[in-house]
Amino acid sequence: MNAASTWVPICSVDDIPRLGARRVARPAGGAVAVFRTADDRVFALLDRCPHKGGPLSQGIVTADGVACPLHNQVIGLADGCARAPDSGCTPSFAVQLQGRQVLLNAQELRELALDSTAEASHG
C-alpha cells in the first residue's frame, strides 16, 4: 500500500452551498456528491441513493444526512447508510480539507464503486 495517498483538489468549501452539494464527475463510475453542512463539515458520497438510484446531490441536506429527492430516504453523510427503518448504503469517499480547499482521494475516485451506475435502470 502506498504510504502517501494522492489527493485531488476539487473546489473550495465556499463553492459548495451551505446545506447543499456539488457534483463531481468521474471518468468511470457514477458521479460523486460533495456535501457541506451548516457548520462547514464536508462529506462525499456516490451520487446515488441505494434505494432507487436517486441523485443525492439534489436532496435536502441536514446536519448529518441527506434526504433522497425521490422518496425522502435519509442517508447518513458520514457513512452513506440509510437511517432506520430504511436500509442500504451508498459508498462514501474520503475527504480532506487543506485550509478552505476540498480534496478527494485520487485512488478512490478511480477505483471505488465503478460498478454503480449514475442512474437506476428501472425505478
Q: How does pLDDT run across 15-53, given as a tens digit for each residue?
A: 999 999 999 999 899 999 999 999 999 999 999 999 999
Domains and CATH numbers, the chain: 7-111 (2.102.10.10)
pLDDT for the residue 115: 81
Please, which residues have CB within 8 angstroms of residue 21's CB and are 6 or more apart in sequence? 33, 34, 35, 36, 56, 57, 58, 59, 61, 66
Total-model pTM? 0.89
The CA distance from 19 to 39, in Å, is: 9
